[in-house]
Amino acid sequence: MQESRFMSVEVSLQCVKEFRERGVTVLRNVFRDWLSALQTGVDKNMADPGPFVRRYTEEGQPGLFFGDYCNWQRIAEYRQFVFDSPAGSVAAALMESRRVRFFHEHVLVKEPGTTEATPWHHDQPYYSIDGSQHCSLWIPLDTVPKASCPEFIASSHQWGKWYTPTRFTGENWDRKKQREGLEQIPDIDAHRDEYDILSWDLDAGDAIAFNFLTVHGAPPNRSASQRRRGFSARLIGDDACWAVRTGETSPPFPELKGKLEHGASLEGLEQFPVIFQAG
């Protein structure tokens, strides 16, 4: 298995503080040098999708909302990013973790004129990973105005809530199949003034870093010409372990299903390589 070169970049103390307290922060220009590779990778991905591809736009509707994940082992540009980019060191600083594993990548594209919004949700309840050290890096591969930017509710990772997963089509996953204690997510859009909702104007190569429990969603891409390609790297830290959910998970990792006990170590699993280790 390829080993990471453990490339490092400096992450400001302000970003670390925002990530800890608000559950989300913005890093400017940190992945600008990786734009060409990731754009090429996304083009390959869309031309030759993987087994988990989703097209959320119905036939005959304008635009295209495309999603796919777990393709890093077959798309060279993604694999290069995983092992050679500073993503691991960025996540280590934000999570305050000595070691970082790659969980998976997730590509979400909203072409011009796409009318589908991404519903409010958080990711932890449908992930097959437990632990408190985790980080998603959402990297725009195009200029993203605030009107099209994903939105995040500040400090929602500290609410102590786990919400029933919502499909990007807007449907709830079957509540009967999920772990006890899940709640229905509030109707945030009907009470937006009650929440501290964060979004930004982004340049290609910036990154939004957020906690797996931070509640977020995304508006449509109503631009007539501007694409909104986002590449997400999901990263996990020192205390990460395998989690067995009572319902379906996303990604499903079918090759691991039923083979690991709840709380099992991730050591030695090629699906989750170590990409950063502090010296």
Res. 246 pLDDT band, cuts 50 70 90 = confident
The topology (CATH level 3) of 13-267 is Jelly Rolls (2.60.120)
Q: What is the pLDDT of residue 6?
A: 58
C-alpha span between 108 and 56 (Å, rounded): 10
Indicate if the pLDDT at residue 178 is higher than 70: no
CA pair distance 199, 201, nearest whole angstrom: 7
* Dist. CA 279–CA 277, nearest whole Å: 6
Q: Where do the domains of the chain lie?
A: 13-267
pLDDT at site 279: 77
Between helices 35-47 and 76-84, what is the axis angle to 10°?
140
Task: Quote the pLDDT of residue 181.
Answer: 83
Query: How many CA atoms are closer than 13 Å to the CA of 203, on its beta-carbon side?
Result: 8
| Stretch 121-147: mean pLDDT | 97
83, β-bridge pairs: none
Question: How far apart are the C-alpha atoms of 39 and 32, rounded to whole Å?
Answer: 11
User: For residue range 27-52, what is the model confidence (pLDDT) as tens digits?
Assistant: 999 999 999 999 999 999 999 999 99
Residue 3 has pLDDT above 60, yes or no: no
| pLDDT at residue number 175 | 47
Average pLDDT, the chain: 94
Tens of pLDDT, residues 151-170: 999 999 999 999 998 888 76
CB-CB contact of 79 with 72 (8 Å): yes
Over residues 58-69, the pLDDT tens digits come to: 999 999 999 999
Mean pLDDT of 241-262: 94
Does the predicted TM-score (pTM) go above 0.85? yes
pLDDT at 166: 82
pLDDT digits (tens, 9 = 90+) for 200-244: 999 999 999 999 999 999 999 999 999 999 999 999 999 999 999
Percent of the chain with pLDDT over 90: 88
The confidence score (pLDDT) of residue 5 equals 57
Percent of the chain with pLDDT over 70: 94
The answer on pLDDT for 1 being more than 50 is no
Checking if the pLDDT of 105 tops 70, the result is yes
